[in-house]
Structure 1
Amino acid sequence: MGELSLLSIGAGAIGSYIGGRLLLSGQQVVFLEKPEIAERLKQAGLTIHKGSESHRINSLQVTSSLQQALSAKNAYDVLLVAVKAYDTHNLIETLLPFKEQLPPILSLQNGVENEPLFRSVFGQDRVIAGTVTSAIGWKQVGEIVIEKERGIGIALDQKLARKLIDVLAQSGFNVKGYPRADPMKWSKLITNQLTNATCAILNMPPAAVLSHPASFQLEMLQIRETLNVMDALKIQVVDLPATPVRILTWAIRKLPLWINQPLFVYFIGKGRGNKMPSLFLDLRAGKKQSEVEYLNGAVVRFGEKTGVATPLNQFLYQTLMDIVQERIPRNTYEHNPDKLLEDYRSFIK
């Protein structure tokens, strides 16, 4: 088996999933965390649940000092970044003083703007784009649940990518390489948009959003706008690990709502069911930032650059940010897709 030494920024759901699985296969992993979390991880270790099986790692290498982590005795192959997209700028400021000591960065973040930011600061050949399609639940510090294992995508445009794919595959991951980063990241953006902003705005689970005619119409329209932007950028849709994005987007482009709705309710709603998505969870946690800025907001920004109209993405982005920042009450659209659709129609007049 190939060897890989990894420094993970944080031990959240994705960091613990990747780092924990690598540790179980004998790779070297160090977690960088806040002091209080670092102490808890040292004491509790890491437990990974999957179905009826659980794997526990009792001894973890955890530090709260980046300088210590990057000391001369530690040589890492990869720096794993899986923080929220709204934390990227602050992370770059933290990493910048150690620019010359940093290994290549593997970004597994949501959105399409993180890797370009990292490249602009740390160099074009120092950043590897990736994506995780597995659904990972975070129970508490040092404990995660693999809710639905799908896989990992890695862009092949950096020389370390092949080794990374080999080691991840040997560690039990379903890994797929992609010649270019943009198709992979934009295709993941589409899956991140589906039943995300609408669920947060409406305070409704994915299955309910897809089952209501008004909110289903909004779901289809927002993805059509994203596809129009991708067309303008000449970025193709690609399938992701265990995630058939191409057939999904073909249906959204080609089939009428009355055919699509029962299909989406069955295939997407059944898979996501009553599990609330990330934008809702951040809203419920009282966070004053939201990744909608880097999902629907990114579609709006690239739409402006390419001259493609994205009014629904603008409306969903603006509405959710208004709720997050308490400019409008959280219950404005609660369980009311008809009002959301009506207000969108007023918005575009």
Structure 2
Amino acid sequence: MASGEKRIVVAGAGSIGCYAGGCLALAGRQVVLLARPRIEAALRQGGLRISDLEGRDRLIKPEALGITADPAAALPQADVILVTVKSGATQEIAALIEAHARPDAIVVSLQNGVDNADRLRAGLGQRTVLAGMVPFNVVLSPDGELPLEVRRASDGKVMIENSDGLANLLDVEGFAVQTHRDMKAVLWCKLLMNLNNALVALSDLPLARELADRRWRLILASQMDEALRAMKACGIEPARTAGLRPALLPKVLRLPDWLFKLLARRMLAIDPEARSSMWDDLQRGRPTEIDDLQGAILRLAEKAGTPAPIIRRVAALVHQAEADRRGAPGLSPDAVRA
């Protein structure tokens, strides 16, 4: 797959999509960002700034960006479609791809949750759909700030299912990509870590501060215990993707603060202002991905007949915050456990 000839469309250019597409464009790939009108307008006015923890700080001027809010303008030209919409929009984007994209376009899901590639396949018939996983957080600059900035706030390599030459096409500076033979196992491991998204949203704390507080880590560890119990009962073995075996994560999270900070330096190597996408959704009054994160474990636990009271409580609190539409509620650990 010759990198200079393949056309990439990023379907859902929010924080992750703009970061991925920006890095690809800076590396000389042919990229079009399919974005919501709000993002399109900001990019056309001020361009796109790409930064990360390693000190890169790069600007793409508006005239150098391929941007549109029109699926009929973007999708027909795509050789590769990177799907970066929220889980709740998966069926909608599948319908747009089916209506406008060529049958031979390769579709890659770079979304949270474990089922989105399957949902895309269900809506796209015989098209090639690959699962992928983005391990890092991306911080999007506030509305009205120009140029629009996306900052990679943590580390890690993107993983995708193996496809001839695709990883080489997508593997560029600032956006490292590799293949993995068992993406389902990778996605279940990522889901374990994503159980913390709700705690960041409920606490209204930056991710680094929340993880540095053992009271919050104990809640995360309890959620992971419930998730691992349900996975084991259903024969699911999450992949080992970040050093530790997934089964050891709850034990590490329960360590005293001083020891956790000493042993989990990589986990705490996060931009001090980074929060979770679920926090951002609550702040903007949008539906969250709670039903695809905690909800996926609750469905698995029901199937397995295993208890998941902490996950159920966290999910209920996020649903309440969605209904209240007052942003992140700023709860204490005790209020979450109550």
1:53 deviates by: 3.6
1:296 deviates by: 0.6
Contact 1:47/1:57 (CA < 8 Å) preserved in 2? yes
| Counterparts of 2:100 and 2:47, CA distance in 1 | 28
1:36 deviates by: 5.3
In structure 1, the residue matched to 2:301 is: 303
In structure 1, the residue matched to 2:182 is: 180
| Counterparts of 1:315 and 1:148, CA distance in 2 | 28
Structure 1 unmatched ranges of 5 or more: 344-349
Q: What amino acid is aligned across from residue 278 of structure 1 in structure 2?
A: S
Q: Give the structure-1-normalised TM-score.
A: 0.81
* Count of equivalent residues: 326
1:117 deviates by: 0.8
Contact 1:8/1:81 (CA < 8 Å) preserved in 2? yes
| Counterparts of 2:123 and 2:130, CA distance in 1 | 14
Query: Identity of aligned pairs, percent?
Result: 28
Pair 339,42 (structure 1): closer, same or farther in 2 beyond 3 Å: closer
The partner residue of 1:143 within 126, 144, 149 is 149
Q: What amino acid is aligned across from residue 61 of structure 1 in structure 2?
A: G
Residues 25-70 of structure 1 show CA distances to partners (whole Å, capped at 9, x for unaligned) of 2211112223454344234332212354422222112223222224
Residues 178-201 of structure 1 show CA distances to partners (whole Å, capped at 9, x for unaligned) of 11221111111112113x212322
Contact 1:322/1:328 (CA < 8 Å) preserved in 2? no
Q: Is 1:338 matched up with 2:334?
A: yes
| Counterparts of 1:25 and 1:255, CA distance in 2 | 38
Q: Give the structure-2-normalised TM-score.
A: 0.84
Contact 1:292/1:320 (CA < 8 Å) preserved in 2? yes
Residues 236-273 of structure 1 show CA distances to partners (whole Å, capped at 9, x for unaligned) of 22233xx33x3453242x6794x465444552673345
Residues 277-336 of structure 1 show CA distances to partners (whole Å, capped at 9, x for unaligned) of 22222212222x1111211111111222233322221111112111211299965xx453
The partner residue of 1:133 within 132, 135, 140 is 135
Once the two structures are superposed, the pairs formed by residues 305-320 of structure 1 within 5 Å of their partners are 305-320=303-318
Contact 2:13/2:84 (CA < 8 Å) preserved in 1? no
Give the 3-state SS of the residue equivalent to 1:235 in structure 2.
coil
Residues 180-225 of structure 1 show CA distances to partners (whole Å, capped at 9, x for unaligned) of 221111111112113x212322334445544555433221110111
Residues 11-31 of structure 1 show CA distances to partners (whole Å, capped at 9, x for unaligned) of 322212221222222211112
1:113 deviates by: 1.8
The partner residue of 1:25 within 4, 24, 27 is 27
- Which has the higher mean CA deviation after the structures are superposed, 4-13 or 39-48? 39-48
1:152 deviates by: 0.6
Once the two structures are superposed, the pairs formed by residues 150-189 of structure 1 within 5 Å of their partners are 150-156=156-162, 161-169=163-171, 173-189=175-191
Give the 3-state SS of the residue equivalent to 2:324 in structure 1.
coil
1:124 deviates by: 6.2
Give the 3-state SS of the residue equivalent to 2:320 in structure 1.
helix
| Counterparts of 1:142 and 1:274, CA distance in 2 | 16
Pair 91,204 (structure 1): closer, same or farther in 2 beyond 3 Å: same
In structure 2, the residue matched to 1:347 is: none
Pair 255,81 (structure 1): closer, same or farther in 2 beyond 3 Å: closer
Q: Is 1:222 matched up with 2:223?
A: yes
Pair 279,5 (structure 1): closer, same or farther in 2 beyond 3 Å: same
Contact 2:10/2:21 (CA < 8 Å) preserved in 1? yes
In structure 2, the residue matched to 1:12 is: 14
In structure 1, the residue matched to 2:269 is: 271
Q: Is 1:107 matched up with 2:113?
A: no
| Counterparts of 1:207 and 1:124, CA distance in 2 | 43
In structure 1, the residue matched to 2:51 is: 49
Pair 179,43 (structure 1): closer, same or farther in 2 beyond 3 Å: same
Q: Is 1:2 matched up with 2:2?
A: yes
Give the 3-state SS of the residue equivalent to 2:105 in structure 1.
coil
Contact 1:215/1:338 (CA < 8 Å) preserved in 2? no
In structure 2, the residue matched to 1:346 is: none
Q: What amino acid is aligned across from residue 181 of structure 1 in structure 2?
A: M
Structure 2 unmatched ranges of 5 or more: none
| Counterparts of 1:128 and 1:283, CA distance in 2 | 29
Q: What amino acid is aligned across from residue 146 of structure 1 in structure 2?
A: R
In structure 1, the residue matched to 2:72 is: 67
